[in-house]
Every structure is written in structure tokens, then in C-alpha cells.
Structure 1
Amino acid sequence: MPPRTKKEPSAPSTMKELKDTLWKAADKLRGSMDASQYKDVILGLIFLKYVSDAYEERREAIRSELAEQGMDDEQIDMLIDDPEEYLGYGVFVVPAQARWSYLAQNAKGLPALGSEPPKNIGQLVDEAMDLVMGANPPLAGTLPRIFNRDNVDQRRLGELLDLFNSARFSRQGEGRARDLLGEVYEYFLEKFARAEGKRGGEFYTPASVVKVLVEVLEPTSGRVYDPCCGSGGMFVQTEKFIHDHEGDPKDVSIYGQENNERTWRMAKMNLAIHGIGNKGLANRWGDTFVRDYHAELSMDYVLANPPFNIKDWHRAQEDPRWVYGVPPKNNANYAWIQHILSKLAPGGQAGVVMANGSMSSNSSGEGDIRARIVEADLVSCMVALPTQLFRSTGIPVCLWFFAKDKSAGAKGATDRTGEVLFIDARQLGYMVDRAERSLAPEDIAKIADTFHAWRGSASAVEKGLKYEDVPGFCATKALAEIKASDYALTPGRYVGASELENDGEPLEDKIERLTNELFAQLDRSARLEQVLREQLGRIS
């Protein structure tokens, strides 16, 4: 019998398998690193892979273009390194020793040059980061340089580079390798957020929640803003929405600010990987309440998931943003809401994730602020979300949607001046595992379609949707009714109870059937009790 040969593992055949394979490989690198350092290492590697792939892709395109013009190899070599040929196409310049092919070839260490000791892969990656930042001023100070620390396993780092190098980031006939790297980056962000628990919530909003905001607001042109942008998920989802609806991403300009330095760096890399221009991202991290980096701009759309119920925040007593009342020191919820309202252009709209308490709290003057906002007719829709959507917090959450103009013709054919739509979506979603819920595509569509039907949006007209109240799910209410409820905005208060499904069985027949079933169960219980008594009697 011939000796058995070890079967080589098959290459990942689907995008899910590829992402899972890369995650398992990356997870082996963790070692003694803390979660935030480990996250920087892995996301930095993905970014290096992205910029290198994009550069090589553009380099081959330039070579083909010049060859078609009749140039020989010598002439091509003189022109192919012109930075403008890359930067002008939104591609970062990547020097030779920062390219992935160079790193992969030397993943096991370089031989010593003269008296110098051999370089390990961590040193090479650090140098690659420096080279990329040096060649691209917009990336200055953005990329991590932490690979050469003692707690980074150099052998596993080399193996991870090998795996990234051999992974097939391509689709036959659709997209580019860097599109798939964008998917991997998002996947890793989600995995890191889950691994870090509460801290992960600082930079990651569950994708299904972001999709609800984007699908309701439909941002296809103008300025899109996030005052606490985390890793940039709102902008990435906006770009996807535009792409899915065959729009032009260039019609949208993004503006963002982030208070955490590491998270700001993640956002810069995330936007670059997705090919989204980040000139509107603040050029450094900073507290939005202390200094608004976009103070002079008004926005067409605001999408935000501010940190919930912040007690320690910088509050200026005199601030032009506090139009509807000074928010309390011990909770920043209504500071975020008023900041967002202050940014809206005359026809602007906003979607904001908030803790449920914001809908009904009357403490520290919050009820008065909410009442003034409602009376100003700025609230267009309130959505109560199901629990467990956020692994990082057990706080129940809701969505506030604002609109500066609800009249007919202002992004909708139906005049909704003086009205608010309430949607109770607490029964939607499915459990991903025992700890986390997610909204399915049909759940997201149900919420968005309901809003657009209510508003008479073009998308609803195209689908033939017409709005009507659905007991237990949605209802439209006038401001007078909301005032009568002390300006509480909890959807469950207004949508009522859902109608019981009529199964067609007459009531008298149903009562008789259920009564007979009950008697039958009681008889069975009595028989089982008698058998049990007899068995116990034999034992004693």
C-alpha cells in the first residue's frame, strides 16, 4: 500500500470562508498584546495590503496605456513612477520597499547587510508604514508603527503576511481586489467590536442599524455629516447605498469628527480602503463639544450614533447650539441632539441612535427641551428598536429622525407638517447568537418602506406603496396628541396593540374546542398521577 500523503487544505472558496480563514489566522497573532494594540496591528496590515494592491493595479494600467501609445520599455520606466499618475486617480503612492510583494518575499527575515543584523518582518512593516506616510502627506501620522515590539510574534506575523499574500482578493468579472479588502476590513471591525465588548461600541455601530438610518434618509447628494464618526461606518454605508441605486458617489461630500485618536486613525484607513474621499474628515481627533471642526458648514444629512448617556462631558453654559434649552451636566443626550439640529441645512434631515430614555425623560429639564423640539416640528419619525442589537451595551435604543421641512415637495409628495410617524419595531429581528440580535434585510425594508410611504417619497411611489396605520406597528400622530401625552415620544404609547389574527373559526366553536382540549389534558394528568402513586407505593 502506498504511503498516505497529507492532504493540503483547500483554498477558501467563498468570501465568508476567506474572511473566517483570515480572522482565525490573525487571531493567532494576539499573544500578549492588549485588544487595542492587536486591532492596530491587524487593521494596519489590511491597509498596507490595500494600498499596495491599488498601486500595483494602477501601475499595470499605466504600463498598458503607455504601451498602447507606442512607447518602449525604457520610456515607460521613465514615466511610470510619476506620483501624479497615481494621486490623480485616488491611488496612494507606494515605494518599492513598502509594497506587499516585497514584504511577502522577505516575510522570514532579510540577510544581514554588512555588519547590520538581519531585519525581522516587524521592522520591515514598520519601515513600510513610514515610507507610505512619507510618500502621501494626507496619511502623515495616521498609520500604526507598533510591529517591532517584543510582544508581537514575528513568526506568526510572517505567516499572516503569507496568508494575505496568497488569499485571492478577486472576483471574476466584477469589482476589484480592493473592494474585497474593504469587506475584510469591515468584517474585522465587527469582530474586534464583539471581542472588545463595551469598548468596541466606541468605534462600531451594528451594520443593520446603520442600514436603517441610510435606507430611511436616502442620502444621494449633498453633505453627509457624522459628529462622532467612529471608524466611519455611516459613510461607508452611504457610499454602498449610492452604488446600489446607481448614483454617483462624487455627488456626496462627507464630513466627520471623532474624539478618540485610535478610532480617528481607523476611520482614515477605512475611508481610504473604500475609496471614499476623506478631506471632510477632521484633520485630527477632537471633542465635538469643545471644538466643532465644521462649525461654518450646514449639512444636508446627519447620521450619528453618539455615546449614550455621557455624564462627564464639556458643557459651555452659553452656547449658540442650545437653542431649545441648556442640556444637563449629567447627560449629554440632548446636547448631541441639539448639536445635530444646529448643523442641518434648511432642507436637511438627520437620523440619530439614542438610548430609549431620551424619548420620555423629564429629569434635569430634558422634558422641556424635548417639548420645544417637538413644537418646532423638527421630529419626523421615532423608531423603537428591538433589544440586544448592541453587544456593547444592554441599554435599549431607539432612532430619532429629524427634518427641517416636512411640507409637500421637500423630499416627499405628502405634506406631513405638524405630524410625527411612530414605528414600533421591537418585534423585528433575529438572534445571531444567544447574546446578539440583528435586523434582517426584510426588517430594514419594512421600516424604510413605511417611512417612505408615509412621506410619499419617490421610492415609495415607484414601488406603489401607500401609507396606513398598522395597529401595533406604526401610527401617525398630530403634535396636539403628542402634547397631550406630555411630549413623550415612545412609539408603544401611540401605535396601540396589534390586531389578533382571525383564523376564521367561530367564537362559540373555538370555546367548545378549547374546553374539550382542557378536559382531555386534565384527564391525562389524573391518569399519570395515579400511575405515579402506584410506582411510589411499590418502592416504599
Structure 2
Amino acid sequence: MAKKATAKKQKSMEETLWDSANKLRGTVESSEYKHVVLGLIFLKFVSDKFEERRKEMIADGEQDFLEMKEFYASKNVFFLPEESRWSYIIKNGKQDDIALKIDTALHTIEKNNPTLKGALPDNYFSRLNLDVSKLSALLDTINDINTIKDKKVDIIGKIYQYFLKKFAIAEGKGKGEFYTPDSIVNLIAEMIEPFKGIIYDPACGSGGMFVQSIKFIESHHGNKKEVSIYGQEYTSATHKLAKMNLAIRGIAANFGAVPADTFGKDQHKDLKADYIMANPPFNQKDWRAADELTDDPRWAGYDTPPKSNANYAWILNMVSKLSQNGVAGFILANGALSGGGEEYKIRKQLIENNLVEAIVILPRNMFYTTDISVTLWILNHNKTERVVELPDETRNYRLREEEILFMDLRQEGEPFEKKYIQFNEEHISKFAATYHDWQQNSDFENVPEYCYGATKTEVAAKDYSLVPSKYIEFVNRDENIDFDTKMTTLQTEFSELLEAEEKSKADLLNVFKELGYEVKL
């Protein structure tokens, strides 16, 4: 009986490279290891671009200018001295001092190209004592990749994003905050349409929001030179990732002079952005001291956000930086939808000021660092009328100033990497179409278990809660439960139980004390 042939799935370029790079792991922490790998990918890409430009100059009879960096910079190409070129690295790839040569190459590239200042790994290769044979094998694998062969495909960008995703998964909970899953970033871009003007991200991580903004522009045949990018990142290593991520795509950006805390050292104080895209840290505690930032101009007109949780500090930071017609799309933990105290007061004011345009609850397991469900907020500084002029279409949005669109996407998406959920292109097109249809059409119809357009009066009647399940009708789910109310009730009951336990302890201690005994519980 003949054996049934089974076709073995051929690994993609990204998977092959990942397998090769993984051989370096072991003694190297992934938090540092990713800079080694991504630094090499960057080096190969800029070398390919450099050699391509060099051949163009020779073909044009410009041999006399081959070592003049201005002739490369004019074409958005980084100038590389001899010791920084990939050909030099490969030629010496089997030498015992190859790690030092790579460090020198990266240092020299940064020194000769001011826009890369502070962007590249600094002495990572020499310091980590990498196995020469494994490093050499990785160099050979990368050498087989022609990063500029297909002008229509962002090969190096695909590899870079693939590695960022894999590193985020590998690092797990509590780490990997540098990366926001592509499908979430894509959804934000398709909804707020960052096409022309200033784009800002106050917690930019590895710069994924900006990359997708540029892809959105290019997919609509726009000009990426018509946007200006501003961001800020606290972690030095992630700050480098962002600079490299944009540099390989030829995207200029202002990330501030140094890595810095957005609240403690705002490097874009006077910025007014047309589009804000962000995924700030969830439920950040002790983000300010009790007596600090209480009168910060970013909270003008609102209560000071509580120091116990930075969610509303991030919101107000973004509100303060929106231009007159600015739109913001950002991710927050679900608790921000219904918090009390100062959060309640700020949320109420945001709603009364007609800033909140849409609240979209996302499925669980979309992030590599947490399995919780999170929320996409859209704020709009001008909810009366907005015109979006794309090269392939002009859209006139007659916006609903006194309404908020609620969407529940918890049952949407598709599985990937076994335990994660993502949106595909059809999902994203559907969700964005729903949002834009609601913006434009007065006869928009609510859909049970999916979306509901609520008036400000309805939201006020719900005590300014932004929990979608308070508005969207559920008819097919057995668990038709108001989770927010349920959790609040459970929290109250738990607090009461703890108080009762403490009282019982106190009563018991008093009994022993009356009997003349000292007891410690």
C-alpha cells in the first residue's frame, strides 16, 4: 500500500530568519537579544540601499562623488564608510573579532548620519560574548536576503515587524510593551484616517502606530511627506527601536531629545496634533508624587487625574494636544470606562464637552503581554463636520455632536499563534465601515450585540458610564450580564467581608485583653 504523501509547509523568509536568530539565545536576555538581531537586519538593509545608490551614481557618471555623503542623503540613503558596509562584515564574518567589527560598523553609521543619533545598539555585540559560529551563521542567513529586490514589498519592514511581534510573545507578561499588535493599529488607522498633518503618540513604543499611519497614506495613494511625526518614549532601549523602525522606512520623526517620561518631561509641550494614536501603559500606578503635577496645564478645565492610576492622565495629555479639528484613537484598560472619584468627574466633563465619539470594546487575548479585554477610545475635537480629502475619495462626515457610538467586538476576530486573537482585513473593513456609516448617515441602524449609537442624554441617564454593554442590546447571549455592575457589586461585597474580618479580629483581641492576656494575630 503506497504511503500517502504529505506536503511539508515551506517556511517563510521571516520564519527561517527567526529560526536562525534563535540559535543565539541562551545566555542572552531577549530584552537585549532583540537589539542584536534587529541591529543586523538594519545594517543589511541600509547597506543594500547604499550599494543601490552607489551603482546609480556610477551609471550616471558621478564616480567622483561616491564618498560624499550629501549625494546619498539627497536620496534619503544613509552614507556608509567602508568598515560599515555589509560586504565588509560578511568578508570578516568568520573572524574572532566579528562582534567588535559589527559594533564599530553601527557606531560609525550613527556618527556619520545625525538623524540616527541615539538609535543604534551601542556595543551590544562585544559585551554579550556571543558564540562566533552562531553569530556567523546568522550573518550568512541575513546575507541571503535581498531587502530591496521587490520595490512593491516592504521586505525589511515585514521582517522587522515579524521579529518585534515574536519578541513581544517571547517576553510575555510584564514585558514586550514596546509592541502593539498590527491588527489593532490597523483598526485605529482605518477609523481615524491619519492622512495629512501632524501625528502624535505620547507612548510610542517601537513606533508601530507611525508605521501603520504611513501604510494607510500609501494605500490611499497619498504622500507621506505631507505628515509630520512626533512621539515620546520613556525606555531608552525602546526609544532606539522606534528610531530604527522608522529609519528603515525612510520616515523622519521627532522623538524628543532623549528618552523621557511624558508626564515628568513633556518634550512636545506646545504641540497641536491632527491625529493621535496611542497604546499607553495600562493602569499605571504612582505615575506622579502626591504634590506633583497638580496644576499641570494639560489638565486645564478638568480635575487632576488620581496618582493611583494614570489612565485619565494619558487621556488629558492627549486632549491637550489635539488641534482644533484633531482626532485621537487610543487603547485603555476597560476600568477607565466606569471608574469613580476624579476619573468619574473627568469622564463626565469629556462627555459634556462632546469629545468622546466612539467606544469600541475589543476581544480578549489580542495582546501578547496580557489576556484582558481592552477598549479603543476615539475622541474628536470637532464633532460637527469633518472633510477627509483622500486622493482616491473625498468624504464629508456630518458628525453627531450629541452622540457616542458603542461597539462590542468581543465575539469577533480569528485565532493565530494558537492562543491569540487578531482581526483580518475583512474584519477591519467591516468595523471601520460601521463607524464611518454612523458618522455620515442619519438613518444608521443599531445592531444587537454589535453596535449602538447613544445620545448624550442616554449616557447621562446611565451616570456617564461608557461601558458598551449598558447600551448595546444583547438577545442571543445567555450571559446577558452587566459585567461592570456585577464586578462593582462583588468588589463591595469583598470589601465588606474584609471589614467584618478585621472587626472580628479586634473583638477577639479585646476579649483576651480583658482576661489579662496579650495576643498578637
TM-score category by the smaller chain? 0.7 to 0.9
Paired residue for 1:350, among 328, 333, 354?
Answer: 328
2:85 corresponds to? 99
Amino acid at match of 1:331: N
CA distance in 2, matches of 1:13, 1:77: 47
Query: In structure 2, do the counterparts of structure 1 residues 59 and 13 end up closer, same or farther at CA, with 3 Å as the change threshold?
Result: farther
Amino acid at match of 1:446: K
- TM-score, normalization by structure 1: 0.82
User: In the TM superposition, what is the alpha-carbon distance from 1:410 to its structure 2 partner?
Assistant: 5.2
User: In the TM superposition, what is the alpha-carbon distance from 1:199 to its structure 2 partner?
Assistant: 4.2
Residues 57 and 63 in structure 2, CA contact (< 8 A), matched pair in contact too: no
1:175 corresponds to? 152
Q: Deviations over 1:426-478 (max 9, x none)?
A: 11011214421111222111111011111129xxxxxxx97321111111111
1:436 corresponds to? 420
Unaligned runs of 5+ in 1: 1-11, 67-75, 110-118, 458-464, 501-540
Structure 1 segment 171-210 matched on structure 2, within 5 A: 171-172=149-150, 174-175=151-152, 179-210=154-185
1:29 corresponds to? 24
User: In the TM superposition, what is the alpha-carbon distance from 1:408 to its structure 2 partner?
Assistant: 2.9
User: In the TM superposition, what is the alpha-carbon distance from 1:277 to its structure 2 partner?
Assistant: 1.0
CA distance in 2, matches of 1:335, 1:472: 31
Query: In structure 2, do the counterparts of structure 1 residues 170 and 134 end up closer, same or farther at CA, with 3 Å as the change threshold?
Result: closer
CA distance in 2, matches of 1:221, 1:202: 28
Paired residue for 2:138, among 144, 151, 160?
Answer: 160
Residues 414 and 454 in structure 1, CA contact (< 8 A), matched pair in contact too: no
Structure 1 segment 523-538 matched on structure 2, within 5 A: none
1:506 corresponds to? none
Amino acid at match of 2:324: P
Structure 1 segment 230-241 matched on structure 2, within 5 A: 230-241=205-216
- Structure 1 residue 453 corresponds to structure 2 residue 437: yes
CA distance in 1, matches of 2:132, 2:309: 45
Paired residue for 2:315, among 317, 337, 340?
Answer: 337
CA distance in 2, matches of 1:378, 1:498: 30
Amino acid at match of 2:459: I
Residues 48 and 147 in structure 2, CA contact (< 8 A), matched pair in contact too: no
Paired residue for 1:311, among 278, 285, 296?
Answer: 285
Q: Deviations over 1:64-110 (max 9, x none)?
A: 222xxxxxxxxx4322222111111111111111100111111111x
Paired residue for 1:38, among 28, 33, 37?
Answer: 33
Q: Deviations over 1:306-333 (max 9, x none)?
A: 0000112125111111132111110000
Amino acid at match of 1:187: Y
Residues 192 and 327 in structure 2, CA contact (< 8 A), matched pair in contact too: yes
User: In the TM superposition, what is the alpha-carbon distance from 1:57 to its structure 2 partner?
Assistant: 1.3
Residues 98 and 127 in structure 1, CA contact (< 8 A), matched pair in contact too: yes
Residues 383 and 401 in structure 2, CA contact (< 8 A), matched pair in contact too: yes
Amino acid at match of 2:215: K
1:256 corresponds to? 231
SS at match of 1:167: coil
Residues 415 and 455 in structure 1, CA contact (< 8 A), matched pair in contact too: yes
SS at match of 1:300: strand
CA distance in 1, matches of 2:373, 2:331: 11
Paired residue for 2:111, among 117, 131, 134?
Answer: 134
Q: Deviations over 1:261-305 (max 9, x none)?
A: 000000000000111112x22131000101211111100000000
Residues 192 and 200 in structure 1, CA contact (< 8 A), matched pair in contact too: no
Structure 1 segment 323-472 matched on structure 2, within 5 A: 323-362=301-340, 364-409=341-386, 411=388, 412-456=396-440, 467-472=444-449
Unaligned runs of 5+ in 2: 1-7, 389-395, 478-521
1:270 corresponds to? 245
Q: Deviations over 1:17-45 (max 9, x none)?
A: 11000000000011301111111111111
Residues 206 and 389 in structure 1, CA contact (< 8 A), matched pair in contact too: yes
Structure 1 segment 208-227 matched on structure 2, within 5 A: 208-227=183-202
CA distance in 1, matches of 2:132, 2:176: 30
Residues 198 and 391 in structure 1, CA contact (< 8 A), matched pair in contact too: yes
Amino acid at match of 1:365: E
CA distance in 2, matches of 1:200, 1:186: 17
CA distance in 2, matches of 1:304, 1:327: 18
CA distance in 2, matches of 1:251, 1:375: 33
CA distance in 2, matches of 1:307, 1:408: 32
Q: Deviations over 1:388-430 (max 9, x none)?
A: 1112013320011000111134554324011111111111011
Residues 203 and 278 in structure 2, CA contact (< 8 A), matched pair in contact too: yes
Amino acid at match of 1:160: L
CA distance in 2, matches of 1:466, 1:60: 59
User: In the TM superposition, what is the alpha-carbon distance from 1:498 to its structure 2 partner?
Assistant: 4.4
CA distance in 1, matches of 2:310, 2:472: 28
- Structure 1 residue 151 corresponds to structure 2 residue 94: no
SS at match of 1:85: helix
Identity %, equivalent residues: 44
Residues 46 and 181 in structure 1, CA contact (< 8 A), matched pair in contact too: yes
Residues 195 and 217 in structure 2, CA contact (< 8 A), matched pair in contact too: yes
Query: In structure 2, do the counterparts of structure 1 residues 150 and 215 end up closer, same or farther at CA, with 3 Å as the change threshold?
Result: closer
Residues 210 and 233 in structure 1, CA contact (< 8 A), matched pair in contact too: yes
User: In the TM superposition, what is the alpha-carbon distance from 1:484 to its structure 2 partner?
Assistant: 0.3
Residues 197 and 392 in structure 1, CA contact (< 8 A), matched pair in contact too: yes
User: In the TM superposition, what is the alpha-carbon distance from 1:187 to its structure 2 partner?
Assistant: 0.6
Structure 1 segment 60-71 matched on structure 2, within 5 A: 60-66=55-61
SS at match of 2:330: strand
1:294 corresponds to? 268
SS at match of 2:397: coil
CA distance in 1, matches of 2:16, 2:175: 22
Residues 347 and 410 in structure 1, CA contact (< 8 A), matched pair in contact too: no
2:491 corresponds to? none
Residues 122 and 148 in structure 1, CA contact (< 8 A), matched pair in contact too: yes
CA distance in 1, matches of 2:52, 2:152: 12
Amino acid at match of 1:274: R
CA distance in 2, matches of 1:92, 1:478: 53
Residues 194 and 200 in structure 1, CA contact (< 8 A), matched pair in contact too: no
Residues 28 and 128 in structure 2, CA contact (< 8 A), matched pair in contact too: no
